[in-house]
Amino acid sequence: MNSQEKLNFAYEIRKNKRLDSIDPYIFSHMPVEEKEIDLNLNNQMIKIFITEPKYIENTGVIINLHGGGFVKGRLDYDKLFCYELAQTLNVKVISLDYKLAPEFTYPTQINECYELVKWVYNNHHELNVDKGKIALMGHSAGGNLVTATTIKLIEEGLSMVNQLILDYPALALHIMPENKKKFHKDLPYELVHAFNKCYCEKEELSDYKVSPLLASGHILRQFPKTLIITAGQDMLAEEAKKFHDRLIENHVFSKYQSFKHSHHGFTVDRRKEYTSAFELICSFFEY
């Protein structure tokens, strides 16, 4: 794909509003508030959404990154997920509206998340959150980005994150989609190829920040407590399970749960075993 083909692909993908149709009434009647903030961090503009219960004291904070193959933006279902998370756990949820590929490519999104984590940690008093309770959560491509951000933090000697939630994460972009186990109603190979081509160059696919499954044991053994959720009918499940196994081998607390009847995207899309997965996520947090 050349540059124009990548842009055309992205425009077509973003036109699909299938999941962007939640009645505003639902949001207005939840005891949660959301505000949009533009930050200038290290000379780059970053957009975030802070979602929190209307009555909240000093608490933990969840930094959440949506999915969408690095190409699609934040949808209403992502927003609803954050509302429910903030309401159920009585925590502050900060969603990074990271810049999208192919207009912005690797490692732009990782750098944004990295700067956001530092900002939350360094401004915990103003945010009224406990800097010892910063969790990173990512879904699909977002799971890839929070894992890569954790690696970057470790390499910089920064211990600012105490929990990870990886929700059907993409962790092995170096393995071609056609070489992964295919399921009925799974993501089409061509679609996954296009997402990857938009995000990075072919030679970057084997970079361990693009494919965190390739990270060294030295890095992995410094990972925080981690929960990994997969959909049983998802080509990404096997690489996520392998990543969990590598964390265990490196003496990291990692919990893995596969929801065997579900397809990719089921948690945020509220399908199949969504309720059980959401309850697992909530029970994992120590807030």
Q: Which tokens is 80 given?
A: 């609803």
State residue 186's pLDDT score.
84
Calpha distance 247→241 (Å, rounded): 10
Give CA separation, 27 vs 34, 87, 91, 188, in Å: 10, 12, 17, 33
Would you tell me how many other CB atoms lie within 10 Å of the CB of residue 266?
23
pLDDT band at 205 (very low <50, low <70, confident <90, very high): very high
Least confident of 53-57, 127-131, 146-150, 237-241: 53-57
State residue 182's pLDDT score.
85
Q: Which of 135, 62, 81 is nearest to 268 (CA)?
A: 81
Q: Which residues pair with 222 in a beta bridge?
A: none
pLDDT band at 17 (very low <50, low <70, confident <90, very high): low
User: In the predicted model, is pLDDT for residue 120 greater than 80?
Assistant: yes
Identify the three-state secondary structure at position 187: coil
Assign domain 3-284 one CATH number from 3.30.1310.10, 3.40.47.40, 3.40.50.1820, 2.40.50.140.
3.40.50.1820
- Tell me the pLDDT of the chain averaged across its residues: 95
State residue 37's pLDDT score.
98
Sheet strands (E) in the chain: 32-41, 44-53, 59-65, 92-96, 129-139, 163-167, 225-233, 254-263
Q: Considering the entire predicted model, what is its pTM?
A: 0.96
Q: Where in the chain are the domains?
A: 3-284
Least confident of 29-33, 79-83, 238-242: 29-33
Phi, psi of 219 (to 5 degrees): -75, -50
User: In the predicted model, is pLDDT for residue 270 greater than 60?
Assistant: yes
Give the largest Cα separation in the chain, rounded.
50
Would you tell me how many other CB atoms lie within 10 Å of the CB of residue 58?
12
User: In the predicted model, is pLDDT for residue 58 greater than 90?
Assistant: no
| Cβ proximity of 138 and 147 under 8 Å | yes
Would you tell me how many other CB atoms lie within 10 Å of the CB of residue 167?
27
pLDDT in tens, 84-112: 999 999 999 999 999 999 999 999 999 99
Mean pLDDT within 174-180: 95
pLDDT in tens, 255-269: 999 999 999 999 999
